[in-house]
Amino acid sequence: MAYPRWVMILAILLVTASAAHAATQNDTYIAGYATGVLKHQLMLDIPAMTVQDGVIILPADSLGTADQTKVMQMLLAIPGVNAVRVSETASQLPMVNTSPQPIKQLSDTAAATTTYPTLLPTGLLPSGHLFKPLLADPRWAHFSAAYRHFLNDNFDGRSIASVSFGETIPIYRKNFGQSIAQWEVGLQAGVFSDFNLNASSSDLVNSDFIASVYSSIRAKQFSAFGRIYHQSSHLGDEFLLRKENASFDRVNLSYEGMDLRLSYEFPYGVRLYGGGGGLFHKQPSALKVWMVQYGAEFRSPWRLDFASMRPILAADFKNFQENNWSTDISARAGVEFENFQVLGRKLQVLVEYFDGHSASGQFFKNKVEYIGVGIHYHF
């Protein structure tokens, strides 16, 4: 019946709208609380302070001789604060009314030309992440659903539904001494599955399972993410039944590996990253070890106000020794909706293009090319 489906859709929309309203109310509370803390404990009056989605933004030249790290740590202790940032272009910040009135947001001009030193909550199970997700990486753990049309016959069918379930969970975070540089350790895990929509029962083709322990650091606009991980790949039962009398060569693909990625965020929403890694304890044992990864992202600082969304562009490149260092290209472009959030994750709608060796484990030797469209939830 269509009725329950529409009820579910309506419930999701109501929850999303309620969350957006609650966020606005919470920002008003935080602004008033922060103003009081600064005035009574540090004798600071900062009328240009802004609060958006639980993030306090302070103009750097308003702090005077005050200890910047101490101020940020004090504000971070306020209930509901997700992060504290210091703006280097205070003259471009709009004035904000810290009384119980709608809070003005950082202007797009200021956001475009500003990079922010950021301080996130510390301790056990903190909110936020020091290393931002790689938007075009086909194997970055997050929640997504996509339709992909393959342009060749090197996969099982040409109409493929791909879904992923995963998360990056910080377990513990701490500052480096009295600085605003921070480090964290945590867990990252994800499941990535492909379904053949051309098959009579939309057969599960391949599932990759990835689990890792990671550590990351952030110092202003520089961040790094290193991990030790396990990956195993499995074929679907229906797929195996269809291939029972065929010559498909199943591989027992399972390995552990280590990798490291470095990232730097520039003004105007530009980010560059790069890194590499290697495998150990691998099956098949003949798998070659090394790989490199690099890419670029653009998260527009200019918001499309009619829909509260921002354009996004991302490109990810990988070269594997196993594939003679040929380049796998993954590109995605679309928009991020600021008002559609679930558990702090923002909804992204992205079109995508891939050309290279398949990221689906059992098909890693196959050269594929596809276009697609998907929805993604990233922090």
For residue range 277-335, list pLDDT tens digits in order: 999 999 999 999 999 999 999 999 888 877 789 999 999 999 999 999 999 999 999 99
SS3 124: strand
pTM for the whole thing? Answer: 0.83
User: Quick check: 173 and 129 in contact, CB under 8 A?
Assistant: no
Question: Based on the domain organization, do 186 and 333 belong to the same domain?
Answer: yes
Residue 122 lies in a domain: no
Residue 64 lies in a domain: yes
CA distance 379 to 169: 11
Full domain range(s) for residue 43: 2-109
The tens digit of pLDDT for each residue in 156-202 reads: 999 999 999 999 999 999 999 989 999 999 999 999 999 999 998 99
Average pLDDT of 198-223?
A: 96
Least confident of 66-75, 193-202, 268-277: 66-75
> DSSP readout, 263-287?
EEE-GGGEEEEEEEEEEEEEESTT-
Q: Which residue carries 């991990």 as its tokens?
A: 227
Q: Encoding tokens for residue 198?
A: 């051309």
Question: Based on the domain organization, do 105 and 152 belong to the same domain?
Answer: no
Question: Based on the domain organization, do 160 and 280 belong to the same domain?
Answer: yes
Asked whether residue 4 carries a pLDDT value surpassing 50, the answer given is no
Q: Which residue carries 């693909």 as its tokens?
A: 253
Residue 216 lies in a domain: yes
Q: Encoding tokens for residue 365?
A: 């030797």
Q: Encoding tokens for residue 314?
A: 């991302």
Average pLDDT of 133-139?
A: 98
H/E stretch holding 212 reads: strand 204-219
Question: Based on the domain organization, do 343 and 230 belong to the same domain?
Answer: yes
Question: Based on the domain organization, do 369 and 309 belong to the same domain?
Answer: yes
| Structural domain count of the chain | 2
H/E stretch holding 306 reads: none
The per-residue pLDDT of the chain, averaged, comes to: 86
Residue 118 lies in a domain: no
Asked whether residue 350 carries a pLDDT value surpassing 90, the answer given is yes
Q: Which comes out higher in pLDDT, residue 212 or 56?
A: 212
Rg over CA atoms, the chain: 23
Question: Based on the domain organization, do 71 and 152 belong to the same domain?
Answer: no
27 CB-contact burial (10 Å; exposed 0-12 / middle 13-18 / buried 19+)? buried
